[in-house]
Amino acid sequence: MTEDLRVIKTKKNLRTAFIRLLDEKTLDKINVSELCRTAGITRKTFYLHYENITIYFEGIIEDLLDEIESAMKRTTDHRLMKNERLNPKMIYIFEHIYENKEIYQIVFSENSRFTYYAMFYDRIKKLVRNSMEAIGIEEINEFEVSYQANAILGVIMEWSHNGFQDSVEEMNDILFSILKRYRVY
């Protein structure tokens, strides 16, 4: 069943307002009244869907995790469908991250809660394991899975800390060269 168009519009307005506010202040300084005023919705509408700002932000993170999963799955599917080795043009995760860079800067800022990193780590670890299984790796070492998940997150965090100065294409090349160096492709 699809969502009501009003709900979709409200969520879009909330996200736009939230990002605008995050551009002006830190997450802990944003309150529900201000978010609702900026989004053009009532507090009642906000509380109908969310308990507080933190819960709202964690919902955004869950959406981002779903989108990362989709991007990583697209990379794996592309490799399997074409039956070829990984190349930089097959890496889709950086497109998603760049499109949502304002939120990623918050998630991976030095002031961010470790919980957010852990949420990304757990999901990416699962995706790495699934990718390894999909390309036919029979013996999967959990330390290797953990290493790769942290490596991916480390690259994303470094890009974020550098203000996303490198292009998506450059990031694809950077990750590809790292993977190639360690023969992880």
**Angstrom distances, CA of residue 79 to CA of 85, 96, 113, 120, 179:** 6, 19, 35, 23, 15
Same domain, 129 and 168: yes
Number of structural domains the chain divides into: 2
In the chain, pLDDT over 70 holds for what percent of residues?
A: 90
In this structure, the answer to whether residues 44 and 94 fall within a common structural domain is no
What pLDDT does residue 162 have? Answer: 94
Q: Let me know whether 64 and 8 are in one domain.
A: no
pLDDT digits over 61-79, tens only?
Answer: 899 999 988 888 887 776 6
Do 81 and 20 lie in one domain? The reply is: no
Report the b/e string of 28-66 with b at 16+ CB within 10 A.
eebeeeebbebbebeeebbeeebeebeebbbebbeebbe
| In a shared domain, residues 103 and 75 | yes
Q: Are residues 76 and 35 in the same domain?
A: no
Nearest of 123, 151, 143, 131 to residue 75 by alpha carbon: 131
Q: Are 86 and 167 found together in one domain?
A: yes
46 shares its domain with 75:
no
Shared domain check, 68 and 10: no
**Are 39 and 72 found together in one domain?**
no
Round to whole Å and give the CA distance between 185 and 175: 10
Dihedral (CA of 12, 13, 14, 20) sign = positive
Task: Return the CATH number at 11.
Answer: 1.10.10.60
Determine the structural domain holding residue 102 and report its residue range: 58-181
On whether both 46 and 66 belong to a single domain, the answer is no
**Residue 84 predicted with pLDDT over 60:** no
pTM of the model: 0.77
In this structure, the answer to whether residues 66 and 142 fall within a common structural domain is: yes
Say if CB 1 and CB 11 are below 8 A apart: no
Dig out the tokens for 10 from the structure: 């409200």
Residue ending a domain, among 15, 31, 50, is 50
